[in-house]
Amino acid sequence: LQLRNKHPKCQVKTKLREDRREAVGPNQVRAVDFVPALLAPGKKLRILTVVDTRLRYCLAADPRFACRGEDVAQTLERVCRRVGYLGPGA
């Protein structure tokens, strides 16, 4: 039994983006992410979460089996209508 030697991957140093600023107040920066979940019968569920990064408050959690771009846009519009659009400095 002989193993192949793996070639090392090219390591590139990452640089922090200059256009990202830390939120100093609520409703300035939001994070959007898909969280996977596996149900008992083996079905995969994806939960779209929208979080206010300053308050650490979940503005929306939208579970779906299949999520299209239109669904994401509707969820984001619903959040903006409920809590307002992003404030200054966003």
pLDDT at 34: 96
pLDDT at 48: 97
Q: Decide: residue 28, CB within 10 A, 0-12 exposed, 13-18 middle, 19+ buried.
A: middle
**Average pLDDT value for residue range 61-68:** 94
CA dihedral 41, 75, 54, 34 (to 10 degrees): 30
- Decide: pTM greater than 0.85: no
pLDDT at residue 20 above 80?
Answer: no
**Average pLDDT value for residue range 80-85:** 92
